[in-house]
A and B are shown apart, each in its own frame.
Chain A
Amino acid sequence: MSLAAEAFVSQMAAAEPWPENATLYQPLKDDQILLSDHASSLAVQAYLRMCGLPVQVVCRANAEYMSPSGKIPFIHVGNQVVSELGPIVQFTKAKGHTLSDSLDDVQRAEMKAYMELVYNMLLTAELYVQWCDDATAAEISRPRYSSPYSWPLGKILAYQKQWEVRRKMNAVGWGGKSLEQVYEDVSQCCQALSQRLGTQPYFFNKQATELDALVFGHLFTILTTRLTSTELAERVKSYSNLLSFCRRIEQTYFEDKGS
């Protein structure tokens, strides 16, 4: 979102309280949504539940194109549309709901850094496995991405998306990596997260923050999504404190409605 629009949204946001009919949009759950999008959507849902803000999840086939930035998920609150976790956190902060108030500066720096770690390594690895690994792309990603559309439109869109993601991977330097190297990076990232979490219930001791929501979203999705190989889930499972972390958050915030 541009700066001017952000400032405007913050002003407007501060004016009204959180309405009852806030909605979160994501692609179709059963047939269409992919691992990376589901992880991002779950992270936002977890964050909003942690803040105690009610939101209704609506599935639309064209959610990706409805979003103002082209990324999933986005929320429709009042008459504003905000997409992606970062801007949503700022948006709720403008309305007076925040989870990271009690952190000091150093802790906040660490929280932001670890969030970037998740984006930089976990999310990129998810995209790589989905679209750059030929087996997964052919068996899972392309069929799912093209499912709402008829032939030949679905095929064209799926190949277009694959090509786009591959270009991005080349730009960030992941183009030359092998699948094994990507799994190694995932392990490294999980190890770093596991180290940081240690034996605490949440990353910053007693209180859940947006970092917890983001990590939960990604790890839980990796653990519960079926891919062509279970390697990715195995790498995450080898860190037991991360497993219990996911289970704890699921029980605390999602159990009443089931997830």
Chain B
Amino acid sequence: MAAPDELFCWEGDWGLPSVSTDCLVVLAYAQFAGAPLKLRKICNPWRSPSGSLPALRTNQKKTLSRPSDIIVHLRKRKYNADYDLSAKEGADSLAFISLLEEKLIPALIYTFWVEPKNYVDVTRRWYAEHMMFPLNFFLPGRMQSRQLEKLRLLRGDENLEAGEELEKELYQDAAECMNLLSQRLGSQKFFFGDSPSSLDAYVFGHLAPILKCKLPNGKLQQHLKSLDNLSDFCSNILLLYFPRDGRAENSGEKASPQPDAADFDSVPNKRRKQFLSALFAFAAMLSYALLTGMVSVQHVHQEALEEPPDPEHIGSHEHEEEGDG
């Protein structure tokens, strides 16, 4: 048997095998079709053969990057999860995948990469923490500008900026898309019967990050959670096909009170830091004033019987002098 193909993909977190949508699609399809792949979970896109992730290096040393290309390649190698689909179901697959790409991807890009709070608090921090030095300084920023440009090209507006109106529009489209998927799924386990197909892989890849990642601005997650059949669908796939990652999340859960507390801790820490920096600034200003002579402390040696001069008067006199100077 030929050596298995190598798949390079992003690392996972939050209970997911990978944080990137495209990687999740490929991983899910590979699991559904039973394709043996040698997984290389990395955090450095420069180490992948094509410069981006996901990337599949076949044993003919060819490199494929697009999820659709990878799935076609696996199908040719007889790892076909769509074997049982009728022609009409195949057509529906294609249609719903297009729906995902047109309506859901812009909202995904916006919520992870363009929305300011989400990007700074979660996305950038995750990539900066997981990338090695010195990539963690500039690569997340570069990824962000590429994603913003992609969103601009998808919407056809060169001057697109993050904003409430844009957010509402994108989220409305995404909500409608999720509703339509939910209606199509109904009460079934998978979209076409009892065994998963490529459409299930695509839907899982797009919805799982929304479901699992805790974002400060979580409107998409709220809407997804309100659609029970879709949330169950994602959790089901995770349980059945990615049990190890689910377990990793659970152990992460136990540790998570600590990070939560750490979150809380960071608030008093922040206070302390603010207080210290204010104190430092005040000390710096005071020493500068003393050293340049703007404010001087006069030691007046008094006779024991004389009344000491009123320090307030001295101070105001000096201030008056300062005013003239």
Q: So, do A and B actually touch in the complex, CB under 8 Å? A: yes
Q: Which residues on A are within 8 Å of B, measured CB to CB? A: 2-4, 69-71, 105-106, 108-110, 112-114, 116-117, 119-121, 167-168, 171-173, 176, 188-189, 191-193, 195-196, 198
Is A113's CB under 8 angstroms from B96's CB? yes
- List 19 extra interface pairs beyond A70-B156, A192-B90, A198-B88, CB under 8 A: A3-B169, A69-B156, A110-B95, A113-B92, A113-B184, A116-B103, A117-B98, A117-B99, A119-B98, A168-B154, A171-B149, A171-B154, A189-B94, A192-B94, A195-B87, A195-B88, A195-B90, A196-B88, A196-B92
Q: How far is the CA of A26 from the CA of B149 in the complex (A)?
A: 28
B186 surroundings in chain A (CB, below 8 A): 106
User: What's the nearest-Cβ distance from chain B to residue A68, in Å?
Assistant: 12
Question: Which chain B residues have a beta carbon within 8 Å of chain A's beta carbons?
Answer: 65-66, 87-88, 90-92, 94-96, 98-99, 101-103, 149-150, 153-154, 156, 165, 168-169, 172, 176, 180-181, 183-184, 186
Cross-chain pairs A/B with CB under 8 angstroms, 13 sampled: A2-B169, A108-B180, A109-B183, A109-B184, A112-B176, A113-B99, A120-B101, A120-B102, A121-B94, A173-B66, A191-B87, A193-B91, A195-B87
A residues near B181, Cβ cutoff 8 Å: 109
Q: A116-B99, A120-B102 are in contact. Are A172 and B154 (CB under 8 A)?
A: yes
A70 to B153, CA, bound (A): 13
Q: Complex formed: what's the CA distance from A2 to B154 in Å? A: 16
- Contact partners of B168 in chain A: CB under 8 A: 3
Task: From B65, B91, B96, B153, give the contact of A191 (CB < 8 A).
Answer: B91
Give complex CA distance A112, B92 in Å.
11
Contact present for A188 and B184 (CB under 8 Å):
no
Closest A residue to B103 using CB positions? A116
A113 to B98, CA, bound (A): 7
Q: How far is the CA of A188 from the CA of B94 in the complex (A)?
A: 9
Cβ–Cβ contact A3 & B172, under 8 A: yes
Residues of A within 8 A of B94 (CB): 117, 121, 188-189, 192
- Per a CB cutoff under 8 Å, which of B103, B165, B180 touches A2? B165
Residues of A within 8 Å of B98, CB to CB, are: 113, 116-117, 119-121
Whether the pair B150, A113 counts as a contact (CB closer than 8 A) is no
- Report the bound CA distance from A108 to B177 in whole Å: 12
Q: Which residues of chain B have C-beta atoms less than 8 A from A2's C-beta?
A: 165, 169
Given contacts A113-B95, A191-B91, contact A119 B154 (CB under 8 A): no
A106, A108, A173 — most chain B CB neighbours (10 Å): A173
Of A106, A108, A176, A192, the most chain B CB neighbours within 10 A belong to: A192
Please give the distance in Å from A44's CB to the nearest CB on chain B: 17
List B contacts of A171 (CB < 8 A): 149-150, 153-154
Q: Which residues in A have their C-beta under 8 angstroms from that of B66? A: 173, 176
Chain A residues with CB below 8 A from B103, complex form: 116
Nearest A residue to B167 by beta-carbon distance?
A3
Contact of B92 among A69, A70, A110, A168 (CB under 8 A): A110
With CB as the reference atom, state the residue of chain B lying closest to A198: B88
A106 touches which of B88, B95, B165, B184 (Cβ 8 Å)? B184
CB atoms of A105 and B183 under 8 A apart = yes
**Known contacts A3-B168, A168-B153, A172-B154, A112 near B99 by CB under 8 Å:** yes
CA of A105 to CA of B168, assembled, Å: 24
A171→B147 CA distance, assembly (Å): 9
Contact of A4 among B149, B153, B165 (CB under 8 A): B165
CB of A119 within 8 A of CB of B165, answer no
The list of the 7 closest CB pairs from A to B, nearest first, reads A192-B91, A120-B98, A113-B95, A109-B180, A195-B91, A117-B98, A171-B153
Cβ-neighbour of B165 out of A3, A69, A113, A196 (below 8 A): A3
Closest Cβ neighbor of B149 among chain A residues: A171
CB-nearest residue of chain B relative to A173?
Answer: B66
Please indicate the chain B residues that have their CB under 8 angstroms from the CB of A191 in the complex.
87, 91
A114 to B180, CA, bound (A): 12
In Å, the complex CA distance between A69 and B99 comes to: 21
- Is the pair B183, A106 in contact by a Cβ cutoff of 8 Å? yes
Q: B residues within 8 A CB of A70?
A: 156
> Of all chain A residues, which has the CB nearest B146?
A171
A120-B101, A195-B90 known; A114-B95 Cβ under 8 A: yes
* Residue in A closest to B155 when the chains form the complex, CB atoms: A69
Name which residue of chain B comes closest to A120, CB basis: B98
Q: What CA separation (Å) do A168 and B152 show in the bound complex?
A: 9
Bound CA–CA A163/B280 (angstroms): 54
Say which residue of B153, B176, B184 sits within 8 Å of A167 (CB atoms).
B153
Nearest B residue to A168 by beta-carbon distance? Answer: B153
Residues of B within 8 A of A121 (CB): 94, 98
B96: chain A residues within 8 A (beta carbon): 113
Which residues of the other chain, B, contact A167 by a CB distance below 8 angstroms? Answer: 153
| B180 interface neighbour in A113, A173, A176, Cβ under 8 Å | A113
Smallest CB gap from B65: residue in A: A176
- A215 to B: closest C-beta gap in Å: 12
B95–A192 contact, CB under 8 A? yes
For A109, list chain B residues within 8 Å (CB).
180-181, 183-184
Q: Chain A contacts of B156 at CB under 8 A?
A: 69-71, 168
Point out the residue from A4, A119, A196 that lies within 8 Å of B91, measured CB to CB.
Answer: A196
Q: Which residues of B contact A192 (CB under 8 A)?
A: 90-92, 94-95
Residue of A nearest to B66 (CB): A173
CA distance A8 to B172 in the complex (A): 17
